[in-house]
Structure 1
Amino acid sequence: QAGLVSPECPEQLLIALEPEAASIYCRKLRLHQLIDLSCKPLAKGLAPEHPIDSSFRQAREQLRRSRHSRTFLVESGMGELWSEMQAGDRYIVADCGGGTVDLTVHQIEKPQGTLKELYKASGGPYGAVGVDLAFEQLLCHIFGADFISTFKAKRPAAWVDLTIAFEARKRAAAPARASALNISLPFSFIDFYRKHRGQNVETALKRSNVNFVKWSSQGMLRMSPEAMSELFQPTISQIIKHIDDLLQKPEVQGIKFLFLVGGFAESPMLQRAVQAAFGSACRVLVPQDVGLTILKGAVLFGLDPTIVRVRRSPLSYGVGVLNKFVEGKHPREKLLVKGGRSWCTDVFERFVTVDQSVALGEVVQRRYCPARPGQRRTIINIYCSASDDALYITDPGVRKCGTVSLELDELGQPSGARREIRATMQFGDTEIKVTAMDISTAKTVRASIDFLSN
């Protein structure tokens, strides 16, 4: 519908999972293109005064000069980091974006250099926007939630200006910072508050008794480093917990590297917290130009989509079918009598279960018969579930994610002849390819399902 590719050539569009793209790019980096947080000891719980030493400054400058070069896409060999990896080494990529944090776990396979996904991609709403929401809650506490709601509705442009001003200060926040952070309040905010409340913002700030936030005569909120740190803590704590929960799983033991990527990974606050939590267990690495990691990795994935050889299915996938009704096994409410035969309706027949390993190109086939003789069309509904024990398509959490409709041409066969439909699902790619074929006529229809959807 977006016109990215023509309907005749849908295979020209590839879908890449963001943390997977980051993983593909990170494995090609050289050591001078990485910041190794684990090499920097914490000083009294704070990051060192110079978070990037002279060698990293030189590397940054070198990377800046070659930023427009495309050599990172066409290098035949792996980077120096690759030389440190052995077959079986495992690493985590934490994609810390604006809205969510997504984690993926890969294992290196040598000598071909392909990747195997060890645990299904997981994530949560722990992105940088959580810090913005914490700032909005602080404003609500100081000036009143009703006023902030009214101001956002009546002065949307000024609200955007305020959020932009906070974004700039948020990026400047660092654990070792000692000076206050000034956030400009738009004049329309100050004026609107005076008209709405009948008092100035300085009075509201004093009455709120908010610690570490003062008013500046230049029309700014002066936030101490402690106040800014409090805004970060809820979001960062959730990210640390999410990574820690993943590390506790049996299939994710022996992690060697933890890559931080995505826009939020640029934050020194997040870097310091991850370093403190996991630096002793594995090497915590941040690529230079971390915000472009996913974009570059997506290009590499497009050049070689077979680089990830084994994935984990994020959901259970199957079809809805009619099975012969078995008394005592199937519930009575699922009984359907047609043509003198008893059927159990709404049966969820799984092709693959959640978190099951699926190799690239792996195919699962099933054979079905039309429900009644002379049927001119068969419709195969495809369902998915986050559970591995769903029995019926009406069970909680089961939803339809696709449909394949196959026209059945009339055959010159006896009316009682058995007719078979072969349903095929091909897994392991970023999309599931579904095929239904009429065995009698070889007529085939195809469909694709987003393998990455939840």
Structure 2
Amino acid sequence: MAHRAVSEIPYKRTRHGKLLVAAIDFGTTCTGYAYSLTQHYEEDPLNIRTKQSWKGSVDISIQAPTSILFDTNRKFHSFGFEAENKYKDFAAKQTHRQWFFFKHFKMMLHRNKNLTRDTELEASNQGLMKAIDVFSEAIRAVTDHLYSTITTECGHAVKRSEIRWVLTVPAIWSDSAKMFMREAAEKAGIEGDQLVLALEPEAASIYCKEQAIIKEAKDGGAILRHFNPGEKYMVLDLGGGTVDVTIHQVNTNGTLNEVYSASGGPWGGITVNEAFRNSIEVAVGKDIFLESRNQDQYGWIMLEKQFEDEKRKFYPGDSVSHRLHLPKYFTHKKYLDLAEQFKVKYGDALEVEDNFYLVIDPSMMEEYFDAAIYKIKYHIHSLLRKEKLGNISSIMLVGGFAESRVVQDKITKTFTTKSVFVPPEAGVSVLKGAMMFGHSPNIIAERISPWTYGVHTRAVFDKRRHDTNRIKKIGGKEYVENAFVKYLEIGESVLVGGSTLSHVFTVANRKVHRVFWKVYKSEKKNPVYCNEEGVHCLGTLEVELPKDKENWYWRLKLNMTCRGTELEAIVSDADTEELFKTLRFDFLKSEYGLESDFIQE
């Protein structure tokens, strides 16, 4: 199908009032973007523009490295290829120590369990910067580049305010990590009502569903077909940092139901690189290892680039050894008998030649992959053992790490009763699916709640549920403190567009104009108290009350759900049904010591 140039098509707004949808796949190792006008999407949902020319790259690249460089005053300098090339030059000249270079920093959002707006990141020079500043400047660099590409093709007919932005996040991320990315994007200049967060494996699932990618034998030959209504399939998004797993079932109208809540772990492609670095640390010792990385950053940059190239080329049954240049630091340390140290630890599997070369045997290269692949296979096995997941027909591998032939081979040979395949353009499945989600967010009809969610309140004592030793008398009535009021139960099916549960609360302090609930989550199905084991505070939901009704007796009705990719809430006057528009979730405070302002009716 020949596609018309954008300038030949009259502009038309989407159902959400925007002329264009732009998606950013902000990855651990690489970041890319895509965009399409409504006309393109309606004519052909797969007509998505992804080509982008990044400064510092000789090719029209799909994606740029997720690397960012700040100058000596912590001001943004460059992103992607340009940042890596500039920092490499600085390191070669030993002038890099005052510059702030960040790479693979996205994983911090998964690893940090106490994420706040003041959380800091350590740069390659061991200097610190606020993480929110690093992320926001990276997102700003990508959105600026994307908008420049759009205006080159569309002229200035598409303004930034006419764009619906979609930003991808791992499905296994915490609510605070998702909020962090939203705030970073808003700080980068994206208005909150223009931004949608898309779950990475869910986006890949949407994209794969639209393609005829299932090979099936028929009439002595093979045909490609789409998923059938009722069919269940698993998507593994194998990224640089994390592995996300989602399981969907196709409905008769083409929408998707989530069958099991998203799961996964930090087993992505950089796990292989970490295993490689660890093997060197084990051989030379921690002190020498850290000293070499600090004193010879250029050498390490080049070593890790060589390893990444060899890692991507490695295939099952490969019999050729991989020779890498060691950092000059090691060649200058004449007292280090590297060859002997590596020989003692690894024999012929990992050798040093003349203090200049590190030689990796194929068996050792395969071992570097094993830690990640073992965890991925174990996780798939644990899911398939669940009763309602045994009839999954297919397992799809998407994401950059899915392009590794080692990964493909080991998973295919392990799960022989399932159809395991890598769809076309596996590396950009998430990106293109995020585009489609931006145009049609209701394509996901049903999701599974990953947690039991509720709010903190003071509740009327109920002898069927509450302990008598928690009774507190107020005005002659018996209450219990720290009561958990449930809104969603872990594993519960949540219909997009369906009704939401509501509870009515009375404001305890009539003189305040800003009140809040503390929001909690748990793996338990029915927590009773917010301070019992296994219940964790997420943050707060704040509501601003009209200031012209100082002594009004407020009864508020709260509806809360997670029909989309983030928690959402509606608060109204329980008596008049008037909605309060000033609502704000906050999951990024350093502490939440205050008590909530409500009594549940």
TM normalised by structure 1 equals 0.79
Residue in 1 aligned with 2:228? 86
Contact 2:466/2:528 (CA < 8 Å) preserved in 1?
no
Tell which deviates more after alignment, 198-207 or 341-350. 198-207
Contact 1:313/1:356 (CA < 8 Å) preserved in 2?
yes
Total equivalences in the alignment: 397
In structure 2, relative to structure 1, the CA distance for the partners of 1:405 and 1:382 (3 Å cut) is: same
Structure 1: segments with no counterpart, 5+ residues = 40-78
Cα distance in 1, alignment partners of residues 346 and 235 from structure 2: 41
Contact 1:158/1:189 (CA < 8 Å) preserved in 2?
no
Q: Does 1:212 align with 2:212?
A: no
In structure 2, relative to structure 1, the CA distance for the partners of 1:448 and 1:106 (3 Å cut) is: farther
Q: Does 1:287 align with 2:423?
A: yes
Q: Deviations over 1:154-208 (max 9, x none)?
A: 32332222222211111121112111111221223322x32xxx13433433344
Residue in 2 aligned with 1:312? 448
In structure 2, relative to structure 1, the CA distance for the partners of 1:209 and 1:303 (3 Å cut) is: closer
Match among 330, 334, 350 for residue 189 of structure 1: 330
Match among 196, 199, 215 for residue 336 of structure 2: 199
Q: Which residue identity does 1:126 align to in structure 2?
A: W
Tell which deviates more after alignment, 237-246 or 333-342. 333-342
Cα distance in 2, alignment partners of residues 311 and 384 from structure 1: 17
Cα distance in 2, alignment partners of residues 216 and 313 from structure 1: 55
Residue in 2 aligned with 1:102? 244
Cα deviation, residue 407, structure 1: 1.8
Contact 2:543/2:582 (CA < 8 Å) preserved in 1?
no
Q: Does 1:421 align with 2:563?
A: no
In structure 2, relative to structure 1, the CA distance for the partners of 1:89 and 1:282 (3 Å cut) is: same
1:58-97 → structure 2 map (5 Å cutoff): 80-82=224-226, 85-97=227-239
Cα distance in 2, alignment partners of residues 226 and 6 from structure 1: 45
Cα distance in 2, alignment partners of residues 98 and 7 from structure 1: 27
Contact 1:323/1:347 (CA < 8 Å) preserved in 2?
yes
Cα deviation, residue 118, structure 1: 0.1
Cα deviation, residue 392, structure 1: 1.1
TM normalised by structure 2 equals 0.61
Residue in 1 aligned with 2:392? 255
Contact 1:25/1:293 (CA < 8 Å) preserved in 2?
yes
Cα distance in 1, alignment partners of residues 467 and 265 from structure 2: 37
Residue in 2 aligned with 1:384? 521
Residue in 2 aligned with 1:60? none
Q: Does 1:400 align with 2:574?
A: no
Cα deviation, residue 287, structure 1: 1.9
- Percent identity between matched residues is 28
Q: Does 1:434 align with 2:588?
A: no
Residue in 1 aligned with 2:193? 11
Name which structure has the greater RCO, CA cutoff 8 Å, separation 6+: 1
Residue in 2 aligned with 1:73? none
Residue in 2 aligned with 1:363? 499
In structure 2, relative to structure 1, the CA distance for the partners of 1:292 and 1:143 (3 Å cut) is: same
Q: Which residue identity does 1:106 align to in structure 2?
A: H
Tell which deviates more after alignment, 112-121 or 139-148. 139-148
Q: Deviations over 1:76-117 (max 9, x none)?
A: xxx9531xx32110000001111111100000111x200000
Match among 134, 147, 153 for residue 294 of structure 2: 153
Report SS of the residue matched to 1:370.
Answer: strand
Cα distance in 2, alignment partners of residues 284 and 449 from structure 1: 40
Cα distance in 1, alignment partners of residues 465 and 203 from structure 2: 46
Match among 204, 212, 218 for residue 22 of structure 1: 204
Match among 156, 159, 169 for residue 310 of structure 2: 169
Tell which deviates more after alignment, 401-410 or 282-291. 401-410
Cα distance in 1, alignment partners of residues 229 and 454 from structure 2: 34
Q: Deviations over 1:378-418 (max 9, x none)?
A: 433322223223211112332133312242667799x9xx7
Residue in 1 aligned with 2:162? none
Q: Which residue identity does 1:90 align to in structure 2?
A: K
Q: Which residue identity does 2:393 align to in structure 1?
A: K
- Which aligned segments of 4 or more residues in structure 1 are displaced greater than 4 angstroms? 1-9, 371-378, 408-413, 448-451
Match among 93, 113, 116 for residue 254 of structure 2: 113
Report SS of the residue matched to 2:393.
Answer: strand
Residue in 2 aligned with 1:271? 408
Contact 1:325/1:335 (CA < 8 Å) preserved in 2?
yes
Contact 2:541/2:585 (CA < 8 Å) preserved in 1?
no
Cα distance in 1, alignment partners of residues 232 and 585 from structure 2: 29
Contact 1:363/1:425 (CA < 8 Å) preserved in 2?
no
Q: Does 1:140 align with 2:281?
A: yes
Which structure's CA Rg is the greater one? Answer: 1
In structure 2, relative to structure 1, the CA distance for the partners of 1:323 and 1:408 (3 Å cut) is: farther
In structure 2, relative to structure 1, the CA distance for the partners of 1:7 and 1:355 (3 Å cut) is: farther
In structure 2, relative to structure 1, the CA distance for the partners of 1:440 and 1:5 (3 Å cut) is: farther
Contact 2:458/2:479 (CA < 8 Å) preserved in 1?
yes
Q: Which residue identity does 2:193 align to in structure 1?
A: E
Cα distance in 1, alignment partners of residues 295 and 270 from structure 2: 22
Report SS of the residue matched to 1:314.
Answer: coil
Q: Deviations over 1:260-302 (max 9, x none)?
A: 0111111111111101111x21111102332111111111110
Report SS of the residue matched to 2:318.
Answer: coil
